[in-house]
Amino acid sequence: MKEAVILPIRFPQLFDDARQPWRGILLFGPPGTGKSFLAKACATECDSTFLSVSSSDLVSKWMGESEKLVKQLFKMARDMKPSIVFIDEIDSLCGGRSEGENDSTRRIKTEFLVQMQGVGSDMNGVLVLGATNVPWELDNAIRRRFQKRIYIALPSSEARAGMFKNKGNKTKNNLTEQDWVVLGEASEGYSGSDVAIVVNEALMMPVRKCQSAKKFKQTPDGGWTPTYPSDPEGTAMGLMDMKPELLRCPDVDMDDFMAALARIKPSVNDSDIVEHIKWTEEFGQDG
């Protein structure tokens, strides 16, 4: 990404007629691995125009209007270069061409092919960034236009531990550094999006304790926090019996995270991973 986006803008002297930056990058992998976030990172890291489009922006019911929109998109990118054209879920626009497909859909694909690498199409200073979860559904001519096809895999245990810590530390908790490492190892097969859902579930556990508590005990600052029914220091009351400003939510602990992991299952199965690895070995490269 740095070779294609940041270096040509910051250090143009590194490139010449022979050494050219990449003009098309395809990010593919299972859902929830951060492909769209990488595109957002490019938009903030480099001082260039960022154009994000989806199928609804380019598909029209009027005859010939969709092709004009595609042509106008690339014309705008060339006029405002250096620029990045990001197309999320590109498989919905540029799937494989078949004999019985709709004529308007074929014309959109043809216009993409011409604009990305056709006679008279100047792509200097323009990067086309595509993201998809099903790269095998792309048309082979579109696939060739993306010179770099990078597999964004599921995060490693170290990366997952960092995600847990980064998101979980924003709320009061009593977890240690070793606890974050254990959570990273226990979440094998989870995507970045799955980890975020697990953290949200864990952070809701103390709120549920407040809702279901029958006893509360007083804190040093004069507030009230839920406690066990057998706690002799506890006072029998419900959540709605106290003043709202006196409620103190318990800290998130390791048991809350483990309970959330047991409840939230990963959204990616092994067969999906096998398909992506097979396509990477044939057409792509590991990111």
Whether 70 and 185 map to the same domain: the answer is no
Do both 181 and 228 map to the same domain? Answer: yes
Identity of residue 94: C
For position 54, which CATH number holds? 3.40.50.300
Nearest Cα residue to 216 out of 246, 194, 257: 246
Name the percent of the chain lying above pLDDT 90.
21
pLDDT in tens, 79-122: 887 788 888 888 877 766 666 666 667 777 788 788 877 656 67
The pLDDT of residue 184: 93
Q: Does position 281 have pLDDT exceeding 70, yes or no? A: yes
| Overall average pLDDT of the 266-277 stretch | 88
Q: For the chain, how many structural domains are there in total?
A: 2
Residues 26 and 137 in one domain: yes
Q: What percent of the chain has pLDDT over 70?
A: 94
**Peptide bond before 266: cis, by omega within 30 degrees of 0?**
no
Segment among 2-6, 144-148, 204-208, 270-274 with least mean pLDDT: 2-6
d(CA 127, CA 50): 10
Are both 106 and 12 inside the same structural domain? Answer: yes
Are 83 and 163 members of one domain?
no
For tokens 């299952």, the residue is 265
φ/ψ (deg, to 5) at 161: -60, -40
Is the domain of 148 the same as that of 161?
A: no
Look up the domain containing 63 and give its range. 2-154+275-286
Q: Do residue 142 and residue 113 come from a single domain?
A: yes
Say how far apart CA 137 and CA 198 lie, in whole Å.
31
- pLDDT for res 162: 93
120 shares a domain with 37: yes
Task: Give the model confidence (pLDDT) of 8-27 as tens digits.
Answer: 877 888 888 788 888 888 89
DSSP 8-state code for residue 252 = B
Tell me what the mean pLDDT of segment 38-53 comes to. Answer: 80
**Residue 25 bridge partners (DSSP):** 129, 148
Same domain, 93 and 149: yes
Both 176 and 70 in a single domain?
A: no
Mean pLDDT score, 42-47: 76
Confidence grade of residue 234 (pLDDT, cut at 50, 70, 90) = confident
Which tens digit of pLDDT belongs to each residue from 122-166? 777 788 888 888 888 888 888 888 888 899 889 999 999 999 999
pTM value is 0.81
Check whether residue 204 and residue 280 sit in a common domain: no
Do 24 and 143 reside in the same domain of the chain? yes
CATH number for position 190: 1.10.8.60
